[in-house]
Structure 1
Amino acid sequence: METSFDVRIWSVTTYQGTSTTTYYVRWKVAEKRFKRGFKTSALADSFRAQLVTAARSGEAFATATGLPVSMSREEHSATWYEFACAYVGMKWPDMSGKSRMGIAETLATVTPALVAEAGRPRADLVRRTLYSWSFNVRRRESGTPPREFARTIRWLETNSRPVADLARPEVIRTVLATIGRRLDGKPAAVSTSRRKRAVLHNALEYAVERQLLPSNPLAAVRVRTQRAVDEVDRRVVVNPEQAARLLAAVGQQGEAGERLVAFFGLLYYAALRPGEAAHLPASALRLPAEGWGELFLPGSAPTTGAAWSDSGRRRDERGLKHRAREAVRVVPAPPPLTTLLRAHLEKFGTNTHGRLFGSMRTPDGDLSDSVYGRVWASAREAALTAEEAASPLARRPYDLRHAAVSTWLNAGVPPTQVAEWAGHSVAVLLRVYAKCLAGQEDAARRRVGQALGLP
């Protein structure tokens, strides 16, 4: 935006027409003249006073519009709804399905705080329209919105506040309060608030880039934030005996369980993420007849849903987390895992894409989170004691990954090597995963007691 401080403002002039009277404010910025007409002298005087005040305070004027920078930005600002749709469109091509979902969720949370109250459609309909249509580029570009969304979209287009309003502290604080609450009004998890604030920060940076805001308003707002709990709860970490019980129980959960023993084995013995295990092809395995093998992980396929993935499938194929798209992570496969994988390939082979795990119903389908989640819940109930089952121990399949990393660390494997195998930085590894195995605390206390000379 080109600006100038060379401003001259003339007195209001009156033009008497045959039926109406118009009051004109005339001014000049640099060498360019501007004129704006008003129906009453009061409106003209008020507008002229704004120009004079801006000039006397030393504010620059935009040479394109003739207005002070603050007024120019406000009058020509996109609405929040228009801007949010444009932001999603800008980010969409380079984002993973998970990231697309996260952006849509954040903007669907923020937008209701930036639209009018009067005449607003039901809150659930507004949120569903925003999340399922407005902030999903593939659906938005597919054609006419469903009838249930069309009216809400028209309302949003005409009742959204200007982006420039976010420069006002009371507005940005209202937005921050919104992302700090769940739909039921209770405080959101710290990690959720932090993630949504990061998305909002990035969106506002884009607004600054488009000159819709002079600066990112989040930088000027100080709010009290709670520290997120990054560390793994050591109560979820299983020891080898408990893990063996759980894997055996998985194999007893019908055909689905038999097909998934090796899947859970990859999480426990090799610390794979579920998306990495679901994406693993047979070509990435080196399995000797006995002893240690190796896994050459080519990527991951986290669940996003067909609406958010590039392929239109349930799982979005991506590179390894925190690595280049073509990077491969090599992870050792201990003998128990090698045995599980060989048995799986011998009995079940691969699906039509050459992967070890897929849909239980169709040969080319993707493994469903709900399927392996139900198998795990049943196996956990069957394998654990009543006391263990009531605890957080291995409540989620992902907790097997925590157990794998904890096992490696407690075995004395250097953190740099563990970080390489697990696909993390050393800093993240030591902050999040450096936890003791279940059952190790008693041994540690005994060693401390012996050092203190206690009986």
Structure 2
Amino acid sequence: MRRGEAFHVRTGPPESEYRAAQAAQVARDAEEEEAAPPTPVVLPGDALWPAFSRAYPGVRWRTLAGKSREGIADGLAAVAIAMVSPDAPERPAPLDVRAVMRWIVVPDHTPDDLSAELLPVWEWLEKNALPVSALEDPAVAREVRYRVTYKLDGGPAGAETVKRRRRALQGAVAYAREIGALTGDPFA
């Protein structure tokens, strides 16, 4: 106490004790966050693509590196553009669909957090999305392959981007088989 140390103005203890208490609280919070497993999302056997895209990353999110998380978000977003009913009315811009999907696949994000401009896109996706089992339709699988390998402007995507998207798609297909939404690998 006699070290000539400043006191924290609002709480009263010396600054060193205040900082030590804060560091201990941060460490406790981090331990609790890591110890608590994510709540598993139970999907129906034939879930729609947006619901599946929200559930799948939650299974793996805690163990993934940042670039892997980005790859999953980008891959699932690219696939989402193809996983829409062909006769869906008033399609939103693919750029908006991608933005919504990249946001919504993060487990901590909810549709309520979407901006006012993107919330209608999410609602449209929920109404017009295809079920995961539609991947077994060859026409849908072709469109998915196209969306994984090309950019929104129609030009070919870079090799690394395609690798990341394919990796995300293969992981999603494996998870879909695990939960019974697919009977086989439509891309094998």
Q: TM-score, normalised by structure 2?
A: 0.70
Query: 1:212 maps to what in 2?
Result: 181
Pick one of 40, 44, 69 that aligns with 1:100: 69
Aligned-partner Cα distance in 2 for 1:139–1:79: 18
Query: 1:118 maps to what in 2?
Result: 89
Aligned-partner Cα distance in 1 for 2:93–2:152: 13
Query: 2:128 maps to what in 1?
Result: 159
Pick one of 137, 156, 171 that aligns with 2:107: 137
1:277-426 → structure 2 map (5 Å cutoff): none
Aligned-partner Cα distance in 2 for 1:180–1:211: 27
| Alpha-carbon offset, residue 93 of structure 1 | 1.5
Query: 2:20 maps to what in 1?
Result: none
Aligned length: 143
Aligned-partner Cα distance in 2 for 1:98–1:194: 12
| Larger RCO (CA under 8 A, 6+ residues apart) | 2
- Would you say the 8 A contact 2:177–2:183 is kept in 1? yes
- Percent identity between the two aligned chains: 36
After superposition, the C-alpha distances for 1:329-382 in whole angstroms (9 at most, x for unaligned) are xxxxxxxxxxxxxxxxxxxxxxxxxxxxxxxxxxxxxxxxxxxxxxxxxxxxxx
| Structure 2: tracts of 5 or more residues without a match | 1-43
> CA, structure 1 residues 194+151, in 2 after alignment: closer, same or farther (shift >3 Å)?
same
Query: 1:446 maps to what in 2?
Result: none
Pick one of 158, 170, 182 that aligns with 2:139: 170
Task: Confirm whether residue 88 of structure 1 aligns to residue 57 of structure 2.
Answer: yes
What letter is aligned with 1:175? Answer: V
* Higher helix residue share: 2
| Alpha-carbon offset, residue 109 of structure 1 | 0.9
| Alpha-carbon offset, residue 79 of structure 1 | 0.7
* Higher strand residue share: 1
What letter is aligned with 1:185? Answer: G
What letter is aligned with 1:140? Answer: T
What is the RMSD computed on CA atoms of the aligned residues?
Answer: 1.8
| Alpha-carbon offset, residue 158 of structure 1 | 1.2
Task: Confirm whether residue 192 of structure 1 aligns to residue 165 of structure 2.
Answer: no
After superposing on structure 2, the runs of 4+ consecutive aligned residues of structure 1 that deviate more than 3 Å are none
| Alpha-carbon offset, residue 76 of structure 1 | 4.8
The range that moved more, 209-218 or 182-191, is 182-191
What letter is aligned with 2:61? Answer: W
